[in-house]
């Protein structure tokens, strides 16, 4: 996991790093992440983290599994 400004990220994608990733994406992709986060009432960093994890591991937790506490 990448470190955040001034601290080490150990378990989840930090909001700071998520925003850094999101601003680098095309507008329509960023807007889709933000829209999905609002729909399922998750922080956008959780949605981004789950999307990346799902891409890397098809057996990982995904949006249809459950609503984990974040």
For residue 51, give both structure tokens. 């999307």
Which residue carries 């400004």 as its tokens? 5
Does a structural domain hold residue 8? no
**Number of Cα atoms under 13 Å in the Cβ half of residue 47:** 18
- Let me know if residue 25 belongs to a domain: yes
Task: Give mean pLDDT, residues 8-24.
Answer: 85
Can you give the residue range of the structural domain that contains 32? 15-56
36 part of a folded domain: yes
Q: Determine, yes or no, domain membership for 31.
A: yes
Q: How many CB atoms lie within 10 A of CB 55?
A: 9
pLDDT at position 12, please?
81
What's the predicted TM-score (pTM) here?
0.68
Q: Which residues contact 17 (CB under 8 A, 6 or more apart)?
A: 2, 4, 9, 45
Question: pLDDT exceeding 70 applies to what percent of the chain?
Answer: 71
Domain count for the chain, please give it.
1
* pLDDT: which is higher, 10 or 43: 43
28 domain-assigned: yes
**Distance between CA atoms of residues 13 and 46, nearest Å:** 7
Residue 61 lies inside a defined structural domain of this protein: no
Residue 67 lies in a domain: no
The pLDDT value recorded for residue 45 is 92
């Amino acid at each position: 996991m990448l470190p955040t400004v001034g601290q080490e990220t150990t378990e989840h994608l930090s909001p700071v790093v998520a925003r850094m990733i999101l601003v680098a994406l095309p507008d329509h992709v960023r807007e889709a992440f933000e829209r999905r986060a609002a729909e399922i009432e998750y922080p956008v960093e959780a949605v981004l983290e789950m999307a990346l994890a799902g891409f890397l591991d098809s057996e990982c937790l995904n949006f249809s599994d459950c609503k984990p506490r974040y």
